[in-house]
Amino acid sequence: MEILQPFMEHSLLILITTFLVYQVTLVVYRLYFSPLAKFPGPKLAAASLWYNGTGSSKRKFLEEEKDCLIVVSLQEMRYEFYYDVWRDGKFTFKIRELHKVYGPIIRISPHQLHVYDPAFYEELYSQHKVRHKYAYFLDRFQLPGSAFGSVDHKLHRERRAALNKYLSKQTIKKLEPMLLDMLDKLCRRIEEFKEKGEKLDMRVVYQCFITDVITLVRLLAFYCYTATNLPFGSDYELDSSKKHKLPHETNRHTQYALNRSWNHLDSPNFSPLWVETIAETVKLGHLLTQFPILLPISLGLPRWFLKITKPGFAMLMDFRKAIEVDTQNILDGNYKFDPDKGNGIEGTIVHAILESDEIPPSEKEFQRLFEEAFVLIGAGSDTVSNMLTNTHFHLLDNPQHLKTLRDELKSVMQDRYARACLKDLEGLPFLNAVTNEGLRLSYGVSTRLPRISPYEVMMYKDWEIPAGTPVSMTSVHMHQNPDIFPDPLTFNPYRWLTTSCPTNNSSTTAPLQTLTPDKTLEKYLVAFGKGSRSCAGINLAKTEILLTLATIFRRYEVQELVETERRDVEVKRDLFLPFPEVGRGGVRVRYG
């Protein structure tokens, strides 16, 4: 014991010294000996996950933004944390600035690389090569049971295979009559506001509409179920009996005798709280990436407390509980397919997974099914509604484009109250060009999406990227690249068109009937991602978009933007999904 006495007396000093030596050694390794040390980028980002100030605590980081000088202490603050959490989703834009300084491939952390080169996108997000996701990036979602949340390439492929048939073009085509019914319902609600001369926030309208569609078309809906027609958002309680209860169960009535929609469209003012719920959830993403423990803590708080302090987050709890209840009822056999009813699609997405031969029984347990359903509903509603909202603005803000679109729609919808036909719409060049341009300026997911080649070195020009390195690219960078899309912030559907007119080679002035699709740029359109990990719901999303745009802009010839500017739809914050600057957002329209 006497031998240890000096060490015990100075144990704190020894621990501090050991820690400092470790930190210095780690920084030296990362800067000079790491496999990524050869890649350009800011040294502070390469040295540590924490952007530590050096010297005194008064050391400041100066950055000029617009006309303001922001003085920010970076003492003990994470590099990524600073831009994404403290600066509210600015890291994506900082990365673009770093590329201007350091070149097309840079090191953005001790472990990650980022590439700014559209030509590399299909290599990184390959259809045929093994690509893992980055576990650190997925921490914000905490949905490892879903295909989206699967790190391993092989596991993702198996889980995706169980979904592919249900989300195929052939299956989605069968949903067309139901989608048109929902559009008729949406138009009836618009008529109510039109008659009163009241404005509508189309961000709220489209969010509610798409959510109702997704739940109705059995991404989590069910056959032979008598459902409530009251708006979603009440408390969901699990009953002690085998059959679980849903809200307002004693007051419900049959809707189609087929499906249960969440019926946000039935809310008198639609459901602004639902939009807030999605926004609040998304805004937590960057914080949860840094501190994933916060999500289970938040979900463990009493609902009454959240309802007072964060109503949107309380509704998120209802959202999760609703999906849990539905999933458990399917597992219990309470919702079964009736072949005499419906539109020929057997069961729900959960049924499709349960009946799949592509995955083992361990992949058909409650928690995994719940997470898959949660992702399909949550991910499918916001991205599509954001695209519809932004496109709605740009069409009203560009009357000539809107006139051209309406002229084209008249060729297949002579009566403005006629129902759209998907097959006809798919053959309209200008409508599809508007769709592509709307997707380009809505971005899908705005944040970088890391991929890992676990076994093979990736090559970017002369750079060898070591196997196992997370590498990412960003849709905002792709879609705003002026070398690919000249004048990238301008809404210009004609960039997706060419003309067969022998006397006029300009698509912008050529007769409408001579326009044909120009697919040259489509490989750079990445709103749905690319490769084996691209969006599973792309077919449903495109169907929703075409039918909705055609219906709304053919039926309502008088629409006026109210209290809405371009900056309400411009991406200024990356919160996983694109957001405008603080205090902006929404597209307010008055119908006449």
Would you say 535 is a known binding-site residue?
A: yes
Contacts of 550 (CB under 8 A, 6+ apart): 409, 413, 420, 425, 431
Contacts of 551 (CB under 8 A, 6+ apart): 180, 183, 187, 419, 420
From the number of C-beta atoms within 10 Å of its C-beta (0-12, 13-18, 19+), residue 588 rates as middle
Q: Are 577 and 186 in contact (CB under 8 A)?
A: no
Beta strands 470-472 and 451-452 are antiparallel
Report residue 204: phi and psi, to 5°: -70, -45
The one-letter amino acid at 525: L
Residue with tokens 């590399």: 120
**Helices 366-397, 272-283: crossing angle, 10 deg rounding:** 110
State how far the Cα of 552 lies from the Cα of 98, in Å rounded to an integer.
42
Q: Output the DSSP codes for 243-279.
A: SPP-TTGGG---STTT-----GGGSBTB-HHHHHHHH
State how far the Cα of 516 lies from the Cα of 514, in Å rounded to an integer.
7
What DSSP character marks residue 448? Answer: B
Let me know how long the chain is. 592
What DSSP character marks residue 358? Answer: S
Contacts of 592 (CB under 8 A, 6+ apart): 194, 558, 559, 560
Q: Are 42 and 251 in contact (CB under 8 A)?
A: no
The one-letter amino acid at 208: C
Contacts of 102 (CB under 8 A, 6+ apart): 40, 41, 42
Q: Are 225 and 326 in contact (CB under 8 A)?
A: no
| Terminal Cα distance for the chain, rounded | 90
Beta strands 113-115 and 588-591 are unpaired
SS3 150: coil
Contacts of 148 (CB under 8 A, 6+ apart): 141, 375, 379, 536
Q: Output the DSSP codes for 516-530.
A: EE-GGGGGG--TT--
Q: State the DSSP H helix or E strand holding residue 201, giving kind and residue range, or none if neither.
A: strand 200-201
Residues annotated in the binding site, as ranges? 535
Residue list, annotated binding site for heme:
535
